[in-house]
Structure 1
Amino acid sequence: MDTTIRSSAQRKSRSAPQTVTEFEKWISRRKTDANYEFVRGRIIRKPPMKQEELFIARFLMRAFAKTQLYKQGAEMLSEGDAYVDTFRKRIPDLAVFTDEQIREAKNGKRFMPPLAIEILSDSESQNDVLDKVQDYFDAGVQLVWYIAPKQQKIFSYTSPDDIKVFKGQDVCSASPVAPDFSFTINDLFNA
């Protein structure tokens, strides 16, 4: 009887995904359209972008489409996988993927985009934000924007410890990723 309990507990622990690869196999067996992030054994449901946030995505995508990086084949995409390492996978609300990354993804290569953009949700704590920012930089992202719609601000991270806050008439730039991708905060929120 004791061995049955142990083997049942062993089966349970073995079935819980421990790596991104195991998590992706696990999620592929589920019948769901929901997005989930995976962070060191934790499966975190990621709510989709809300309709009232679509104006942000549209503004940013249209502005990005005017850049040199876009002309070189890069794209700003929503809710694409961003791989940190073997144990962490995030899904930024928006991200810039280079032409090379898009081509390599076709062959199964995993990577982190150079620019990750998150729209702050009411359910995210400060620790959630800091954890995501750290994960992005651990994977080699060059720039993270956290957009706070209610406060009409962008928190721009060039490292986990280097942050600049843009608001009002401030000009926010995606340098060094795309130096010609810039706009005033008022233009974004009044779009």
Structure 2
Amino acid sequence: MTTHTITKPLTGSEFAALGDIGPAELVRGEIVPMSPTGHSHGYIEFNLARIVGNFVFNKQLGRLMGGEVGIYTQRQPDTVRAADALFISNARMAKVQSESYLDVAPELVVEIMSPDDHWSELITKLDEYFVIGVELAWVVEPRHKRVHVYRSLADVETLTKTDTLTGGDILPGLSEVVMVRTAYLVVMATIVFLERQATISFLEMQVTTTYQEEKAAIV
């Protein structure tokens, strides 16, 4: 007689309690290991989070998070996806009850594709995001120097080089110029305020300085 050991699916809380097990996601109760990201991936993620994060912070719109933030996309069995970066508004953040992973969908998620990523797996992940209420997804594809803007799986726009990537209704007033630097793509923010005052505010001076520094670093 053969005896089969039945492994109970992990919950999100149990997954979080495991501590530092390396990069991983929880998919229907099963741990799925992930490879560490490369330097180009990390460079893009840091700069996007820093620049867009400054805009979000200065406008007090909510929170910009980076570093493979966990998001519940399914419960019982639990699935916890790791987003490279995300934006969640103050209104949605106020509804979060979990102390570990987000149990409320952010408005925006950012995924940066690595060389070993597969589109089929990414589409599955995006589908889960939209099902729980994510409104916008930016998929950065460094190898082909482009950014795919998903409003749903059926509504996607592909941007290259100097096309303008905007925050839409989610981050009003934000636009980013997509620029190419050597072999990988750098997302650089040019902050555009829709409602400008007659005098230059301290905030606008900060934004202008940041933009000039970023421009000088890329040229």
Assess same fold via TM > 0.5: yes
> How far has the Cα of 1:136 moved from its partner?
0.7
Unaligned runs of 5+ in 1: none
Residue 42 of structure 2 is aligned to residue 39 of structure 1: no
Percent of aligned positions that are identical: 20
Residue 188 of structure 2 is aligned to residue 175 of structure 1: no
Of the structure 1 ranges 159-168 and 179-188, higher mean CA displacement relative to structure 2 is found in 179-188
- Contact 1:116 1:143 (8 Å CA) reproduced: yes
Task: Summarize deviations over 1:106-141 as a string: whole Å, max 9, x none.
Answer: 654712211110110111112111111101101110
Give, in whole Å, the separation in 2 of the partners of 1:31 and 1:60.
27
Give, in whole Å, the separation in 1 of the partners of 2:23 and 2:154.
28
Give, in whole Å, the separation in 1 of the partners of 2:64 and 2:169.
16
Give, in whole Å, the separation in 1 of the partners of 2:83 and 2:65.
9
Give, in whole Å, the separation in 1 of the partners of 2:132 and 2:33.
21
Partner of 1:96: 87
SS at 2:114 equivalent: coil
Give, in whole Å, the separation in 1 of the partners of 2:15 and 2:43.
34
SS at 2:147 equivalent: strand
Partner of 2:154: 161
Partner of 1:60: 48
Partner of 2:124: 131
2:70 to 77, 81, 86: 81
Residue 102 of structure 2 is aligned to residue 140 of structure 1: no
SS at 2:126 equivalent: helix
SS at 2:111 equivalent: strand
Of the structure 1 ranges 126-135 and 109-118, higher mean CA displacement relative to structure 2 is found in 109-118
Residue 42 of structure 2 is aligned to residue 51 of structure 1: no
Q: 1:180 to 1:73 in 2, by over 3 A?
A: closer
> How far has the Cα of 1:27 moved from its partner?
5.7
Give, in whole Å, the separation in 1 of the partners of 2:89 and 2:57.
8
Q: 1:179 to 1:123 in 2, by over 3 A?
A: same
> How far has the Cα of 1:44 moved from its partner?
1.7
Residue 9 of structure 2 is aligned to residue 17 of structure 1: yes
TM-score, normalised relative to structure 2: 0.70
> How far has the Cα of 1:147 moved from its partner?
0.4
> How far has the Cα of 1:181 moved from its partner?
2.3
